[in-house]
């Protein structure tokens, strides 16, 4: 493993809401692996890094927007492994770089901004040829690690949480690569609970099939209605929840992914979705650096 995983803790939530239902709820703190880098991203990148360190070019190239947790994770791992990192960023270069992109640069990533139109065409052969001419050979990592290698990397998370013997493993969903990885390595009696951070994400099963070659819909539960209006949308209720959750359990969440997951799980506990004696493990995938885009003072942590 290329990851500082010794920092991960398993925080059991103690509250009457949970104990009265005779269930357990544990948060697997992948966010503790690194303050700036989403835990699940590091896992998704594992096999790409493995591949890249055995090449001559020792260069990774990937894609993302100005707030991409994936680009920061790529930049960080490349720095750790002495690999060259190139980030292709969606949109024209802004006058002031986002905190996310500044972090990428701090880790030594070379950034190249491309128009949204060009970015939409990253699968285009000409675009790839241009990138090859500009940067030479590289290990290509699709946006969000959305590839078999990304899912294989995410499946390693199962080893980390195996001792928890979860009946349910909950994760938030962006590209569904992490979810696909969990479904590659779950035990048949384990349900994987997916909470999309995106509105109307109707292609989750197709994405899983594309990444892993099969769907295991029997072992998958999707709670589709906790996106709070869509990707990166939030309202007072969500912010209040994040602050209350932090006060009660001392666990910070991010407003794009993990807060929506925890909100969903707590709500479904109230609604008795989880049977007595369920052992729920929620993956805290990180993403905390994204909270920096909220107005100062919004959160108490
Ligand atoms: C990227 C990200 C996700 C989504 O992971 P996918 O594998 O793309 O579904 C979830 N949580 C956090 C914190 C992330 O940064």
Instruction: Over range 184-209, report the average pLDDT.
Output: 96
pLDDT recorded at residue 207: 97
CA dihedral over 273, 22, 17, 15, signed as positive or negative? negative
- Quick: pLDDT tens for 5-25: 899 999 999 999 999 999 999
Ligand 1: residue of 62, 175, 206 to mutate (most ligand atoms within 8 A of CB) is 175
* pLDDT band for position 38 (cuts 50, 70, 90): confident
Ligand 1 centroid from CA 171, angstroms:
9
Q: Give the nearest ligand 1 atom to 31 CA.
A: 13
Q: What is the mean pLDDT of residues 154-175?
A: 97
- What's the confidence (pLDDT) of residue 28? 98
pLDDT band at 2 (very low <50, low <70, confident <90, very high): low
Which of 37-41, 58-62, 168-172 is the least confident region? 37-41
**pLDDT value for 74:** 97
Mutating to test ligand 1, I would choose from 149, 257, 288 the residue with most ligand atoms within 8 A of its C-beta, which is 257
The edge-to-edge listing of strands for the beta sheet with 84-90 is 110-114, 84-90, 59-64, 139-141
The SS3 assignment for 18 reads helix
- In three state form, how does the secondary structure of 210-271 look? HHHCCCCHHHEEECCCCCCCCCCCCCHHHHHHHHHHHHHHCCCCCCCCHHHHHHHHHHHHHC
| Least confident range of 76-85, 116-125, 139-148 | 116-125
- Per-residue pLDDT, 257: 97
Q: How far is CA 287 from the centre of its chain?
A: 7
What domains are there in the chain, each with its CATH number?
Answer: 5-38+155-293 (3.40.50.1100), 41-145 (3.40.50.1100)
Q: Where is average pLDDT lowest: 36-45, 155-164, 245-254?
A: 36-45
SS3 of 197, please?
coil
Q: How confident is the model at residue 1 (pLDDT cuts 50, 70, 90)?
A: low
- Report the pLDDT value the prediction gives residue 102, as an integer from 0 to 100: 96
The Å distance, Cα 268 to ligand 1 centre, comes to: 21
Mutation probe of ligand 1 site: the residue of 148, 151, 285, 289 with most atoms within 8 A of C-beta: 285
Q: Is 47's pLDDT higher than 60?
A: yes
Decide if 258 contacts 197 (C-beta within 8 A): no
Whole-number percent of the chain with pLDDT over 70: 99
Ligand 1 pocket at CB < 6 A? 38, 40-41, 69-70, 144, 172-179, 254, 257-258, 285-287
Q: Indicate the pLDDT class of residue 199, thresholds 50, 70 and 90.
A: very high
On average, the pLDDT of the chain sits at 95
Tokens 């104990």 correspond to 19
Which two tokens mark 105?
């640069």
Number of the ligand 1 atom closest to the C-alpha atom of 288: 13
Q: Which of 252, 256, 181, 245 is nearest to 32 (CA)?
A: 252
Q: What is the mean pLDDT of residues 178-199?
A: 96
pLDDT bucket at 120, cuts 50 / 70 / 90:
confident
Alpha helices in the chain (DSSP H): 16-19, 39-53, 69-80, 99-106, 116-119, 125-135, 148-155, 157-161, 177-184, 204-212, 236-249, 258-270
d(CA 88, CA 95): 17
CB 92 within 8 A of CB 66: no
Place of tokens 């590289």: 138
- Which ligand 1 atom minimizes the distance to the CA of 69? 15
In this structure, of 11-25, 109-123, 159-173, the range with the lowest mean pLDDT score is: 109-123
């Amino acid at each position: 493993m290329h990851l500082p995983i010794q920092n991960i803790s398993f925080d059991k939530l103690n509250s009457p809401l949970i104990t009265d239902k005779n269930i357990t709820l544990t948060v697997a703190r992948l966010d503790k692996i690194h303050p700036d880098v989403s835990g699940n991203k590091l896992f998704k990148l594992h096999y790409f890094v493995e591949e890249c360190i055995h090449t001559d070019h020792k260069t990774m190239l990937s894609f993302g927007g100005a707030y991409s947790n994936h680009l920061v994770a790529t930049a960080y791992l490349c720095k750790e492994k002495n690999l060259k990192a190139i980030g292709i960023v969606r949109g024209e270069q802004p006058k002031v770089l986002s905190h996310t992109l500044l972090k990428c640069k701090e880790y030594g990533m070379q950034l190249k901004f491309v128009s949204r139109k060009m970015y939409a065409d990253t699968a285009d052969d000409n675009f790839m040829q241009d990138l090859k001419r500009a940067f030479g050979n590289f290990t290509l990592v699709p946006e969000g690690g959305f590839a078999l290698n990304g899912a294989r990397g995410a499946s390693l998370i199962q080893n980390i949480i195996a001792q928890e013997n979860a009946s349910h493993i909950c994760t938030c969903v962006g590209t569904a690569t992490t979810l696909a990885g969990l479904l590659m390595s779950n035990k048949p009696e384990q349900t994987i609970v997916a909470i999309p951070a995106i509105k109307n994400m109707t292609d989750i099963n197709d994405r899983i099939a594309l990444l892993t070659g099969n769907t295991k819909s029997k072992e998958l539960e999707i709670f589709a209605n906790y996106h709070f209006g869509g990707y990166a949308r939030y309202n007072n209720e969500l912010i209040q929840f994040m602050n209350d959750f932090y006060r009660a359990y001392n666990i910070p969440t991010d407003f794009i992914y993990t807060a929506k997951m925890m909100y969903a799980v707590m709500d479904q506990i109230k609604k008795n979705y989880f049977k007595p004696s369920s052992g729920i493990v929620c993956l805290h995938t990180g993403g905390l650096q994204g909270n920096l885009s909220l107005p100062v003072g919004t959160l108490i942590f």
